Amino acid sequence: AKDAGRCGYAFYREELTSVAFERVLLESSMRHGLDRQEFVLNYQPQIDMRTGKIHGVEVLVRWEHPDMGLLGPMKFIPAAEELGLIIPLGEWILRTALSRAKAWCEQGHHCGVISVNASAVELQQRNYADRVIAVLDEIGFDPKFFELEVTEGLFLGEFELAAKSLRRLQDYGVAIAIDDFGTGYSSLSYLKRLPIDRLKIDRSFVQDIPGDENDVAITRAVISMAASLQLKVTAEGVETEVQRDFLLGEGCDIAQGYLFARPMPEQEFLFWLENHTPL
Ligand code: C2E
Ligand code: CA
Ligand code: CA
Ligand code: CA
């Protein structure tokens, strides 16, 4: 038993060391990645299902890693958050997304509201709202066409700090959406303590409707609660016509998902915009 213990301990230490080592590598490659413009943005349309027209577009980051290939955000956002690199990365994402959207608008494209994901770590920055507003001003972007998606993870940190930033942004004209709604903590209590414009129903609830009766019940409850609180709703991860019809029938009109379009690099997105014919 003693040997096993010692063995287990040694194994644990070895693992820790290699994790720490990987972190150092990741940190320097992420810093370089930012300098070398290895991060790219994809754009996924959000559709008004009543008309089939585009309502907005969500910005989703990817990393074109020179050795590891194309990395999805789940592979590097958590590390970026831990290392504090989400701050410069987040600012790059915001600035790039807004300046591209401004350019599309000037080229005569209509793409509605641009939604950017904000990490809970970014929202723990004391000057977060000021920095976002500075970028909006610098680019000359109308805040009415900008939405910030925040997750419930936000409320594990300093709640009042984040709430204050969100209030300042909302006062400035920015819309606030709660992402992955229903998957996090204390969903209901903060609905009245926070400036919120929209709830995004998490894909995990949408994917099994209308077959799973619990998911049907949850989805219905979120839609009707949003209506009574005068919040807007977006359904995430809509992949089938059956899901679309169900959501429309329940009064949810905005949706996003592979049924309509996948997240796309800029050129493909613009091609989609030009060739998209509403229902
Ligand atoms: P999210 O904000 O919930 O984004 C939606 C995710 O669902 C995206 O994954 C999108 O590609 C995927 N998706 C969209 N429609 C469908 C569908 O019909 N079916 C399925 N199976 N998936 C669908 P992605 O791009 O891998 O992003 C994962 C998460 O990474 C995001 O979840 C968000 O939390 C985070 N993330 C992405 N971009 C950023 C960013 O710029 N900043 C921050 N802080 N987080 C980001
Ligand atoms: Ca999101
Ligand atoms: Ca989501
Ligand atoms: Ca998510």
Number of the ligand closest to the Cα of 149:
2
Q: Which residues are close to ligand 4, an ion, with C-beta < 5 A?
A: 180
Closest approach atom of ligand 1 to CA 118: 44
CB atoms within 10 A of CB 77: 20
243 lines ligand 1 (CB under 6 A): no
pLDDT digits (tens, 9 = 90+) for 103-131: 999 999 998 999 999 999 999 999 999 99
77 lines ligand 1 (CB under 6 A): yes
pTM score of the predicted model? 0.92
185 lines ligand 1 (CB under 6 A): no
- Cα–Cα distance, 157 to 204 (Å, whole number): 24
Structure tokens at 85: 């690199």
Q: Per-residue confidence at 137, pLDDT binned at 50, 70, 90?
A: very high
Greatest extent of the chain over all pairs of C-alpha atoms, in Å: 72
Can you tell me which residue has the tokens 């831990």?
82
Q: How far is the CA of 180 from the centre of ligand 4 (A)?
A: 6
Q: Per-residue confidence at 152, pLDDT binned at 50, 70, 90?
A: confident
DSSP per residue, the chain:
-HHHHHHHHHHHHHHHHHHHHHHHHHHHHHHHHHHTT-EEEEEEEEEETTTTEEEEEEEEEEEEETTTEEE-HHHHHHHHHHHTTHHHHHHHHHHHHHHHHHHHHHTT----EEEEE--HHHHTSTTHHHHHHHHHHHHT--GGGEEEEE-GGGGGS-HHHHHHHHHHHHHHT-EEEEEEETSSS-TTGGGTTS---EEEE-HHHHTTTTT-HHHHHHHHHHHHHHHHTT-EEEE----SHHHHHHHHHHT--EE-STTT---EEHHHHHHHHHH----
| Phi and psi at residue 248, to the nearest 5° | -60, -45
Q: ipTM strictly over 0.95?
A: yes
Closest approach atom of ligand 1 to CA 259: 18
179 lines ligand 1 (CB under 6 A): yes
pLDDT value of position 7: 46
The pLDDT of residue 65 is above 60 = yes
Q: How far is the CA of 50 from the centre of ligand 4 (A)?
A: 25
258 lines ligand 1 (CB under 6 A): yes
pLDDT value of position 187: 59
Number of the ligand closest to the Cα of 73:
1
pLDDT digits (tens, 9 = 90+) for 252-264: 999 999 999 999 9
Kindly report the protein residue whose alpha carbon is nearest to atom 33 of ligand 1: 117
178 lines ligand 1 (CB under 6 A): no
| Phi and psi at residue 142, to the nearest 5° | -70, 115
- Cα–Cα distance, 250 to 215 (Å, whole number): 13
CB 155 within 8 A of CB 162: yes
- Cα–Cα distance, 253 to 263 (Å, whole number): 20
257 lines ligand 1 (CB under 6 A): yes
Per-residue CA distances from 269 to 162, 202, 273 (Å)? 32, 23, 6
